[in-house]
Amino acid sequence: MSTASDKTGRIQLLRDTLAKAGSENRAALIAYLPAGFPTVDAGIDAVKAVVAGGADIVEIGLPHSDPVLDGPVIQTADDIARRGGVKIADVLRTVREAQEATGAPILVMTYWNPIDRYGVERFTAELAQAGGAGCILPDLPVQESALWREHAEKHGLATVFVVAPSSKDERLATITAAGSGFVYASSLMGVTGTRESVGDQAQELVRRTRATTELPVCVGLGVSNAVQAKEVAAFADGVIVGSAFVKLLLDAPDLPAGLAAVRSLAGELTQGVRRS
């Protein structure tokens, strides 16, 4: 695949980045930030800050009016972005400018409805043109994903599905066979947010998922500090952190302070994901 092409998504960059982290005896640090929050330009600056701090991969959230998987912190940020008038074009611009500035693999995390309305062919083509690496689709059932996967594959984009502790082994095998890039393992039942403990459920889910696939398995939901990142990095290929970054931006007195805080947290988490 030619990286010189402006028509091809960056799934290979995603694979290479995850493989490089593994070869360095660490988990990849994956940061989540919503597009358009606090503004479109500030959101792009936030992506640059987390990558400067050490994040390997970034997920850009497409703000949605009914974010079933997201806890109160991300819901608040999504609400700010939506009140600011964020559109899919702004999400794609965030991907493009962040990718060009950082060189990191950038994915979009989105519910299915906005893509369905926008058009699958149009969205995949434009995401690939923006230099995106793929999509995380938490509410798209695998059995209804053929059209999406066909276009994603055509444009060099990863299709990342979410698995949960409630997923039976047979279901896990179906999900991982359809996915590409990596598998997003939700560490517990419930919504996103920071938690005191990430728990044993996540480790067992990773073990069960790995039994079905060669894809890297990355764990999200609940990680907010270096101690938890270290705990998850011991058994997962990637550690996904979202609410902790978003909360720093929400709580900061101004944008420069917020950017400094997310860069600093990324640096701490980068130390945490190294396996001793």
Active-site annotation, residues: 59, 70
- Give dist(CA 33, CA 59) in Å, integer: 6
Residues 135 and 107 sit within 8 Å (Cβ to Cβ): yes
- Give dist(CA 71, CA 162) in Å, integer: 16
- Give dist(CA 97, CA 247) in Å, integer: 23
C-alpha of 231 from chain center: 19
Q: Which residues pair with 185 in a beta bridge?
A: 163, 219
Say which DSSP state 85 is in.
T
- Give dist(CA 166, CA 196) in Å, integer: 21
Say which DSSP state 35 is in.
T
- Give dist(CA 221, CA 66) in Å, integer: 18
Strands in 28-34's sheet, in edge-to-edge order, are: 158-160, 134-136, 106-109, 57-61, 28-34, 238-241, 217-220, 183-186, 162-163
